[in-house]
Amino acid sequence: MQEVNPEDLPENQEAGPSGGEPPDDTPIDLEAEFHASNVQEVLDKLDHELVGLEPVKQRIREIAALLLVDRARKQMQLTTETPTLHMCFTGNPGTGKTTVAMRMAEILHRLEYVRQGHLVAVTRDDLVGQYIGHTAPKTKEVLKKAMGGVLFIDEAYYLYRPENERDYGQEAIEILLQVMEDNRDDLVVILAGYADKMDRFFQSNPGMRSRIAHHLDFPDYSGGELMEIARIMLGDLNYDFSLEAEEAFQEYIERRMAMPHFANARSIRNAIDRARLRQANRLFAGDTNLTKADLKTIKAEDIRASSVFEQGVPDADPAMNR
């Protein structure tokens, strides 16, 4: 189980009307409220961290707008109802689902929807026990840790295994359903996984589908977007491609996308890490009179040494992503 805490999240000051109900012509400055919430900082992080994904980013902006208007309505003593913000993220590995969940937690905190704004990321093993009486305390302990923030359940469809009559996943689902309904003003649950498997999961668990307000699909990245992701990753680490290395990496992407177990940005990160390893070995074995530019530059040979360039060599180990 992984717990992620956003750094130095500012606390929002609670503003509310004093005295009686404000008249209808009372002004409200939504733009000022937006700037005061520092939500734009989180949206800027998303734009830097994630290439593309415009439909996903647009939905996040829409949710932020809903919460901002809801907060303004409370200040004006208008009737408000806590919106249901439980979500489902579908898409292949490496498409940014966990990153968006973490930034969503920050936005929810800054707009005062949840108290803490942390992210607790779990899988089936963190929720479901191996014997009678084990699942309920495991699930409740996870929910306790996640309360006040966001609970991110990756590959959520594995919670339901009807083929195994001794499986205890259904117990975890029932506890989740109750908490999602009773504590929706202090906990957001995000289910994530492959689209087809999540569809089957919802068909088997209609109560869960009815509690999910937002379905966001994360498409695979194009070759050009993956190249841009590689440049951003290198830049964040103070590396650069040589001109020949950039051409080689573009070819690498095209070859790697056609091979098994491709994982979008995750595979690109693994490829960058391997290129850095090859560069380090090349520098260590070569001329000791190096410059700062040498330390920063990834060359074509650091890319083309990958087995991806060997004809007919499959990437059999998904953990390697070479």
Weakest mean pLDDT among 80-84, 204-208, 306-310: 80-84
Residue at 72 is within a domain: yes
Residue at 89 is within a domain: yes
Weakest mean pLDDT among 212-216, 300-304, 317-321: 317-321
- Note the helical H segments in 111-194: 124-127, 135-146, 169-182
Domain boundary among 218, 233, 256: 218
- Note the helical H segments in 7-121: 30-37, 39-49, 54-75, 97-110
Weakest mean pLDDT among 74-78, 123-127, 148-152: 74-78
Instruction: Give the other-Cβ count within 10 Å of 72's Cβ.
Output: 16
Q: Please report where in the chains the tokens 């070859």 appear, as a residue.
A: 255
Q: Please report where in the chains the tokens 């009737």 appear, as a residue.
A: 79
Residue at 314 is within a domain: no
| Entry pTM | 0.81
Strands 150-154, 188-193: pairing kind: parallel
Is pLDDT above 50 for 267?
Answer: yes
Is pLDDT above 80 for 164?
Answer: no
> What's the CA gap between 58 and 268, in Å, rounded?
25
Domain of residue 299, CATH code: 1.10.8.60
Q: What angle (nearest 5°) sits at the alpha carbon of residue 236, between those of residues 233 and 239?
A: 80
| Mean local confidence (pLDDT), 7-32 | 60
Domain boundary among 218, 240, 264: 218
58 and 129 both lie in a single domain = yes
| Confidence band for 146, pLDDT divided at 50, 70 and 90 | very high
| Amino acid making up residue 281 | N
Percentage, residues of the chain above pLDDT 70: 90
- Tokens in use for 298? 């990834």
Q: Domain tally for the chain?
A: 2
Is pLDDT above 90 for 230?
Answer: yes
Is pLDDT above 70 for 322?
Answer: no
176 and 295 both lie in a single domain = no
Strands 119-122, 2-4: pairing kind: antiparallel
CA distances from 167 to 171, 173, 303 (A): 9, 12, 46
232 and 260 both lie in a single domain = yes
- Domain of 206 in residue numbering reads as 2-218
> What's the CA gap between 147 and 124, in Å, rounded?
18
pLDDT tens-digit series, residues 87-114: 999 999 999 999 999 999 999 988 888 8
214 and 229 both lie in a single domain = no
Calculate the average pLDDT of the chain: 86
20 and 159 both lie in a single domain = yes
Is pLDDT above 60 for 284?
Answer: yes
